[in-house]
Chains A and B, each alone.
Chain A
Amino acid sequence: MTAIAEAAPGRAGALLAGDDERPHSLGLLVVAGFLWLGLGVVILAWPDAQELERTSLLGSLALGFGMLQLLAWAGGWFSRPVARLGRFAPWLVVLALVMTAWEVATAKLDLLPLPFFPSPQAFLEVYTDDWRRLGDSLLHSVLLLARGFAIGAAVGFVIGVALGWSKRVGYWIHPVMRLVGPLPATAWLPLAFFIFPSSGSASTFLIALATAFPLIVLTWSGVAGVQTAYYDVARTLGANSRFLILKVAIPAALPHVFVGLFMGLGSSFAVLVVAEMLGVKSGLGWYLQWAQGWAAYANMYGALLVMALMCSALITVLFRVRDRLLSWQKGLVQW
């Protein structure tokens, strides 16, 4: 924690001093490198107290990673882009210490109860031995999510624009949305699995539903909140209503639309996992459930990490798209 806190003023200082200044943490990279080498030695030289298979692989990985950091430190004196890696040094130090503590407490001294606290080796073994099933689950999850999110986003966007634009559409859709919208999409789960021909299509529907509601509300308020002066300007310049919707209302509402998309994506993750745990026979949610059935806690942690990376990657993609489309906005939050 202190290492991170120290890194911040260092980076700010480097920014203020301009590009010529080498990041202060470059020297710390040596420390991190040796700590990782030390972790490798601990893993390889200290005999395991638990029965484990991937000790030598894990040890080699730690040694290799430590070497890489020392190389980066050396390269940092010759290349500025490499020197920028120094900003990761405080994190690398902390991670090396945490990993060492974890390794010693589990594999080496067997202090923590199994199977709830697997060792780093067991964690690694999940990926080396079960990557096929994990990869397959990841693929299914991403496909299911992509399908549901795309449908929900498209439908939600169109309904949101229509609500914001037309009073007549509002008359019919607003009461329905007020009643149905706040209901969590997961509440539909039993009904959806009954109505839809396959659990896949039911889950797609639920994910679409979860995505659509926040997007509808945000798009609607975005379109309804467009300054009338924007329309006046376009109208005096000869714009028809098609132009007003496509070139004025929608671009003006886009910041709101993206807030809705972020919220929709978040709730679609929740629905995805629940749907996969309860009905769909594939995907990361199903993998979690399956691993728990076998008390394979290492597999659960492994799947959780993959799931976190997936969600984070998808959010990152959405941020990139937003940064591109809303580059005109100042003061965007950096992800």
Chain B
Amino acid sequence: MVALAEAVNVGTAPGAAVDIVDIDHGFALHGDYLPVLEDVSFRVEPGEFVALLGPSGCGKSTLLRLIAGLDTPRAGRLIVDGADVTGPDPSRVVVFQDPTLYPWRTVWRNASLGLETRGLLKQQRERVDAALALVGLEKFAKAYPHQLSGGMAQRASLARALVNDPSLLILDEPLGKLDSLTRLAMQGEITRLWQRRGFTVLMVTHDVEEALLLANRVIVFSDRPARVRADLAVDLPYPRHRDHPELLRLRREALSLLGMAADW
């Protein structure tokens, strides 16, 4: 608990508080209404690392898109730092499963995107260099995306997000397509970045172990339409060890909530 408190307080930019209140959302599909999120409510404290866990296709990513402001919910309220979400904002940045770097821009120019859209690039070029250094890509500033490995590309997209000094970092299965070794390394890096910068993190994943290794809290969703099944607190110091008995216990609990108890 002490370690956790320290971790949260080290950062410079204060993390955002997120209130998700009675969110309902769905899509029209072939003329029918397909409910995706039903009655979803929870609160994320400033500086928390919350993992959203659920079966694939259950609507976790949809929730992230709503919080990012890319889509508008059918019902309910999304409040970030006391203000309703009405559209995208650079203080809430998303890192998608695919790095989605622009292939026509170098790594540096990709990372600088958020400053460019706001007309800040000319005065604050050093912020781009700093963000690339933070993810260890300073030597690849002039490389094009097709010259990067999968892990490096995802790191570049992380730098593109961090340049904006976000108060809320939204991670949509950011490590889902990486090989297992790169994945382990990136998990460590994300935890370190979060501890250093103090932003709030919301991360969608369907990897139970990843959720428990990284997050303070793991919110488990049911199958579609997604509802909150459980809200598990992970009170363990970082860096965490995947063989810790408490972690194994939480893992069993999370898996049984996802309906996988018998197989494990």
Query: Which residues of B sit under 8 angstroms from A230, Cβ to Cβ?
Result: 100, 102
Query: Which residues of B sit under 8 angstroms from A236, Cβ to Cβ?
Result: 68-70, 88-90, 92-94
A235 in contact (CB, < 8 A): yes
B114 in contact (CB, < 8 A): yes
Interface size for B (C-beta < 8 A) is 26
**Cα(A237)–Cα(B90), bound, Å:** 5
Q: Is there an interface contact between A232 and B102, defined as CB atoms closer than 8 Å?
A: no
**Cα(A243)–Cα(B90), bound, Å:** 15
> How many interface contacts (CB-CB < 8 Å) are there between A and B?
65
Interface of chain B, helix or strand or loop or mixed? loop
Return the chain B residue nearest A233 by Cβ: B100
Taking a contact as CB atoms closer than 8 A, the residue among A229, A247, A328, A329 that contacts B98 in the complex is: A229
Taking a contact as CB atoms closer than 8 A, the residue among B69, B92, B113 that contacts A233 in the complex is: B113
Instruction: Given A227-B100, A329-B103, verify A235-B113 contact (CB < 8 Å).
Output: no
Query: Which residues of B sit under 8 angstroms from A239, Cβ to Cβ?
Result: 113, 117
A248 in contact (CB, < 8 A): yes
> Within the complex, what minimum Cβ distance (angstroms) separates A268 from chain B?
27
Query: Which residues of A sit under 8 angstroms from B117, Cβ to Cβ?
Result: 234, 237-240, 243
- Which of A232, A240, A251, A254 lies at the interface centre, i.e. has the most chain B CB atoms within 10 A of its CB? A232
Q: Which parts of A251-276 form the interface with B (CB within 8 Å)?
A: 251-252, 254
Query: Which residues of A sit under 8 angstroms from B116, Cβ to Cβ?
Result: 243, 247
Query: Which residues of B sit under 8 angstroms from A252, Cβ to Cβ?
Result: 102, 104
Instruction: Given A235-B88, A237-B114, verify A328-B104 contact (CB < 8 Å).
Output: yes
B122 in contact (CB, < 8 A): no
> Within the complex, what minimum Cβ distance (angstroms) separates B169 from chain A?
11
**Cα(A329)–Cα(B65), bound, Å:** 30
Point out residues on A near B: beta carbons under 8 Å: 227, 229-230, 232-240, 243, 247-248, 251-252, 254, 326, 328-330
Point out residues on B near A: beta carbons under 8 Å: 65, 68-70, 88-90, 92-94, 96, 98, 100, 102-105, 113-114, 116-118, 144, 146, 160, 164
